[in-house]
Amino acid sequence: MNEPTSTLAPDRTPPPSVGPPRRRVGRRALLGGGAGLAALAATGTGWALERYVVDHVEVASASAYEASQGVASAATASTGGTVSGTTYTSDLATIDISRTVVGSGDDQLVYFTADLRLEDATVLRSAFANDEFGQNIIEVPSAIASAVDAVWAVNGDYYGFRDNGIVVRNGVAYRDEGARQGLAWYRDGSMRLYDETATTAKALVDDGVWQTLSFGPGLVDGGAVVDGIDSVEVDTNFGNHSVQGNQPRTGIGLVEANHVLVIVADGRSTGYSRGIGMSEFAQVFVDRGAQVAYNLDGGGSSAMVFDGDLVNDPLGKGQERGTSDILYIGA
């Protein structure tokens, strides 16, 4: 693939609750926003509101819950860092962001790569929307990033859309409902695809897992594109778009211990970026030396934030969409 790269353009078992649990109407637009919600109510499909829209808070302060577990992280020991253009450097992490344009016209593809080199795997952290764990709790990625003083962030797996999947974040187990192929990020800086149904959240934490992600499919394993990924569907249930075809995508991969690649491809924007197919996306990771890679939530959720600014252009509209979680590196 011919991939000329230009400088980044500025335009372009569950834990106990901490605090009182509560519910409120979710803010993500579903079925066309308010009109869609009214239609659901009118047709007696209130179950959809309850399942996909109404917030279900299980842990009211995730940061307090994690602190109560006494889990150590090198991120708290950082002496700070500096931003220069599209690069960030500190004693614990180096971040380089590049913009790649392939093709032209209606066949043009634009994607952004964050090359992360970490001194310690625990520097790559996770944060939840509103600092709450549960279902249908959302904020735009830049707001979540701002709340945790992140210098760089990317959307996660949107765990809050579903009620299954193993969720381990910042070394703490939040959900133990194995359902699919997941990705495990270990304290030793390694990354592995794994079968969620063959293990438990506790076993993963005991084995040194720092983060899990539950979306998929796995894109790269053993340095090669995974067979059959162009026919895999993920959560093609109520209100969710197929993961196949040329789509906006977010993915994460590992080149070697503590050398992480995160790629966000824009799409569904005629004349700007067409989006990218699953195998093509996997090949981008392989071409950059990734030994393992995994597909995260995409579509309008795909967003990368750096130094307070949105890096990519979601759906060509320059607007972020609410999501339940981010991966980030703190400033």
| 187 within some domain | yes
CB 22 within 8 Å of CB 132 = no
| Residue 70, phi then psi, degrees to nearest 5 | 65, 35
Q: Output the pLDDT for position 235.
A: 65
Q: What is the pLDDT of residues 94-106, one digit of tens each?
A: 999 999 999 999 9
Q: What share of the chain is helix, strand, coil (3-state, %, to 5)?
A: 20, 35, 45
State residue 94's pLDDT score: 97
- Structural domain includes residue 44: no
- Within-domain flag for 205: yes
- In angstroms, the CA 57 to CA 95 distance is 33
181 within some domain: yes
The answer as to whether 173 is a domain residue is yes
Contact 108, 98 (CB under 8 A): no
Split at pLDDT 50, 70, 90, the class of 325 is very high
pLDDT of residue 228: 94
> Please, are residues 96 and 164 in contact by the beta-carbon 8 Å criterion?
no
* Residue found under tokens 């090198």: 74
Buried b (16+ CB within 10 A) or exposed e, 278-301: bebbbbbbbeeebbbbbbbbbbbb
Establish if 11 belongs to a structural domain: no
Total residue length of the chain: 331
In the chain, the number of structural domains is: 1
- CB proximity list for 144: less than 8 A, separation 6 or greater: 127, 128, 129, 150, 153, 323, 325, 326, 328
**pTM for the whole structure:** 0.85
Residue 316 lies in a domain: yes
Q: Are residues 298 and 250 in contact, defined by beta-carbon separation less than 8 angstroms? A: yes
Domain of 219 in residue numbering reads as 74-330
Residue 65 counted as domain residue:
no
